[in-house]
Amino acid sequence: MTDTNEQYKINHFPKQSQAEPGLQSRMSPTPDDGAADYVGHERLKYKKALITGGDSGIGRAVAIAYAHEGADIVLNYLPEEESDAQEVKGIVESLGQHIKLVPGDLKSEIFSQALVDEAVAFLGDISILVLVAGKQQAVVDIAELSTTQLIDTYTTNVFSAIWLIKAALPHLQPGSSIITTNSIQADQPAPFLVDYAGTKAALKNMTISLAKQFANRGIRVNSVAPGPIWTPLQIVGGQLPENIPTFGQSTPLKRAGQPAELAGAYVFLASDETSYITGESIKVTGGL
């Protein structure tokens, strides 16, 4: 038996910051993506996944887990994150799976549509659409919340999800799965994440609506709600700088989560084992 509290426990994160979007490879400590420990069981064999935000953090851990489970992958990320994405590519290919990297900004509807086209051209079709990419910037006073940030946050987190789902829908066969990423912020919003928390509440509700809409197509739509997870999102402005050293310690488990600890939820929701689950949100929050 492994005590996961001890396995993943970090008592103190060094204060650090990067410019958006940030690189996982430059973080201290480096987030655990599960590459060293994940054991696959062919639960996604022959499945084909399009994953956004897959260069680092949660999306990276999901891509690695999916490759361990037998899926081929198209990975989206921002061009500035190329070095992290290349690391993921090497890991996936070392597991014998196919992967295509497609850098680009999801704030563009045209690019979002082109991303799906490239995924279909590479994979043949899409059986799993995983939406992880997101923008989070802490702003203590709403008077300082700019319209530019408001638009960028909603476009990245909500509008792009709708654009991608619309573009992918003609290529999703019965048995396909869409997985969105909301947050503990959808239910327990922090005072300094007004715009981000609002987008995550929207995603949570949108997931339920689409689950009902797509039920007769045989397409399931579910979501994962992370709590405080150690990813680049936190150190590029997503958290207040003074919160970084004790990040995650207010949870009942008294620690932050690692991306590797979310991958199983995304595998579960994409697998055939969840054929009777739709419209649900799995909380991975350390007990919050």
d(CA 227, CA 248): 8
Question: Rounded to a whole number, what is the distance in angstroms from the first to the last CA of the chain?
Answer: 24
Q: Is residue 179 part of a domain?
A: yes
Q: Is residue 10 part of a domain?
A: no
pTM: 0.97
DSSP state of 155: I
Q: 11 or 210: whose pLDDT is higher?
A: 210
pLDDT confidence bin for 5, thresholds 50/70/90: confident
Q: What is the mean pLDDT of residues 29-57?
A: 97
d(CA 284, CA 268): 13
Q: Is residue 16 part of a domain?
A: no
Q: What is the mean pLDDT of residues 22-29?
A: 96
Q: Using the predicted structure, report yes or no on whether residue 153 has a pLDDT greater than 80.
A: yes
Q: What is the mean pLDDT of residues 48-55?
A: 98
Residue appearing with tokens 């949570």: 204
Q: Is residue 3 part of a domain?
A: no
> How does the average pLDDT of the chain come out, rounded?
97
We report the CATH number of the domain holding residue 202 as 3.40.50.720
38, 154, 196, 266: which one is catalytic? 196
Q: Nearest 5°: CA angle at 179, between 199 and 111?
A: 70
Q: Which domain holds residue 172?
A: 35-284
Q: Is residue 4 part of a domain?
A: no
Give yes or no for a contact between 57 and 64, defined as CB atoms under 8 angstroms apart: no
For 63-89, what is each residue's pLDDT tens digit? 999 999 999 999 999 999 999 999 999
d(CA 159, CA 162): 5
Residue 167 one-letter amino acid: A
d(CA 260, CA 254): 17
How distant, in Å, are the alpha carbons of 36, 112, 120, 283 from that of 123?
Answer: 26, 17, 5, 30
d(CA 33, CA 60): 7
pLDDT of residue 137: 98
* 46 labelled catalytic: no
Say how many domains are in the chain: 1
Q: What is the mean pLDDT of residues 2-8?
A: 82
pLDDT of residue 125: 95
Q: Is residue 76 part of a domain?
A: yes
| Count of beta carbons in the 10 Å neighbourhood of residue 266 | 29
Q: Which pairs from 199-207 meet CB under 8 Å and 24+ separation?
A: 199/134, 199/153, 199/154, 199/157, 199/158, 200/157, 200/225, 202/154, 202/157, 202/158, 203/157, 203/158, 203/161, 204/180, 204/281, 206/158, 206/161, 206/162, 206/180, 207/180, 207/182, 207/279, 207/281
Q: Is residue 262 part of a domain?
A: yes
Q: Using the predicted structure, report yes or no on whether residue 261 has a pLDDT greater than 80.
A: yes
For 229-254, what is each residue's pLDDT tens digit? 999 999 999 999 999 999 999 999 99
Q: Using the predicted structure, report yes or no on whether residue 215 has a pLDDT greater than 80.
A: yes
pLDDT confidence bin for 9, thresholds 50/70/90: confident
Q: Where are the alpha helices (DSSP H) in the chain?
A: 4-8, 57-68, 82-94, 109-123, 147-154, 160-168, 194-214, 232-233, 260-270
What tokens does 63 get? 């891509």
pLDDT of residue 2: 76
Give residue 145's Cα distance to chain centre.
24
Among residues 234, 232, 227, 237, the alpha carbon closest in space to that of 137 is found at: 237
pLDDT of residue 3: 84
Question: Which backbone phi and psi does 286 adopt, to 5 degrees?
Answer: 70, 20
Largest CA distance in the chain: 51
pLDDT confidence bin for 216, thresholds 50/70/90: very high
pLDDT of residue 6: 81
Give yes or no for a contact between 54 and 103, defined as CB atoms under 8 angstroms apart: no
pLDDT of residue 204: 98
Peptide bond between residue 170 and the one before it cis (omega within 30 degrees of 0): no
The percentage of the chain sitting over the pLDDT mark of 90, rounded to a whole number, equals 97
Q: Is residue 26 part of a domain?
A: no
pLDDT confidence bin for 7, thresholds 50/70/90: confident
